[in-house]
């Protein structure tokens, strides 16, 4: 490779924790990296346009890019008890929202796919309003929408902002399938070749292992980009969303991603790189 590899991921603590080693140069990459940090739905859009060599995407969005991209086994967000939540200002339930307006953090997000599956099972019809993820709870609080699907730091701060959890969509998925919830994954262009894909997979693993071994080295980089600056929230965010699945999805993770993609209408076998 003669040019810098373009890499995109979110400014959320789980991603900046995982990628700090690569971003800082502690983990080297041939000819360096041109890094873009962006909101999850913006990343999904960049991937759909094929504009970035390596990019973090919602697993739901991966359904539309697999002709051009293949998923790495490392660097993603997956686990049990890590899913998005549905919140409202007061006591409520999903059925009571029938016919009302709910804010979502982008139509191509895994959160929206899960919410849609849940509503389908419950027979609930809603009007959806797309927003950047950190605008969802303020919109709920201001009464602009009746409820909102919350991701990232909002999972830990909704109660402080006067929200009530109506439904844990991750818990719903786990009961529905018995599988971990696959939220995000790292996609790499197939045109770069299998060797580069495997090298990038290992570089991401080393970057993550480095942050686990020396978390203080990543702290400033994480806080520089975090929406929520409270140290306890940042630590809880990383603990929740950076799991052993982030080092390697394993057989269970492959099954979970395949199942979610089938729910999104994509039934392919060549989803992940081979090691």
Q: Is the dihedral of CA 48, 193, 261, 175 positive or negative?
A: negative
Alpha-carbon distance of 130 to 24, in angstroms, equals 34
Identified catalytic residue from 20, 152, 225, 237? 152
Can you spell out the DSSP letters for 144-159? SSSEEEE-TTHHHHTT
Q: Is the dihedral of CA 105, 164, 90, 117 positive or negative?
A: positive
Q: Are strands 101-104 and 147-150 parallel, antiparallel or unpaired?
A: parallel
Rg for the chain (alpha carbons), in Å?
18
**Is 152 considered catalytic here?**
yes
**SS3 annotation, 221-267:** HHHHHCCCCCHHHHHHHHHHHCCHHHHCCHHHHHHHHHHHHHHCCCC
Alpha-carbon distance of 56 to 54, in angstroms, equals 7
**Cα distances (angstroms) measured from residue 219 to each of 20, 106, 166, 222, 232:** 9, 28, 33, 5, 12
Token pair, residue 191, equals 């045109």
Catalytic residue numbers? 152
């Amino acid at each position: 490779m003669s040019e810098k590899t373009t890499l995109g991921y979110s400014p959320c603590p789980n991603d900046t924790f995982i990628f700090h080693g690569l971003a800082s140069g502690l983990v080297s990459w041939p000819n360096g990296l041109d890094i873009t940090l962006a909101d999850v739905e913006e990343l999904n859009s960049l991937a759909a346009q094929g504009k970035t060599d390596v990019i973090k995407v919602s697993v739901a969005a991966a359904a539309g890019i697999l002709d051009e991209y293949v998923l790495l086994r490392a660097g993603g967000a997956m686990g049990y008890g890590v899913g998005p939540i549905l919140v409202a200002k007061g006591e409520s339930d999903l059925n009571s929202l029938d016919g009302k307006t709910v804010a979502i953090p982008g139509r191509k997000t895994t959160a929206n796919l899960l919410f849609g599956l849940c509503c389908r099972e419950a027979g609930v019809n809603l009007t959806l309003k797309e927003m950047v993820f950190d605008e969802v709870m303020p919109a709920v609080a201001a009464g602009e929408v009746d409820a909102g699907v919350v991701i990232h730091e909002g999972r830990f701060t909704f109660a402080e902002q006067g929200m009530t959890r109506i439904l844990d969509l991750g818990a719903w998925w786990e009961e529905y399938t018995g599988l971990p919830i696959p939220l995000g994954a790292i996609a790499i262009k197939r045109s770069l070749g299998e060797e580069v894909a495997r090298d990038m997979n290992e570089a991401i693993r080393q970057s993550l292992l480095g942050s686990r071994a020396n978390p203080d080295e990543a702290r400033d980089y994480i806080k520089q980009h975090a929406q929520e600056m409270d140290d306890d929230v940042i630590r809880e965010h990383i603990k929740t969303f950076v799991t052993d699945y982030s080092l390697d999805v394993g057989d269970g993770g492959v099954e979970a991603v395949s199942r979610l993609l089938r729910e999104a209408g994509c039934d392919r076998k060549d989803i992940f790189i081979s090691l």
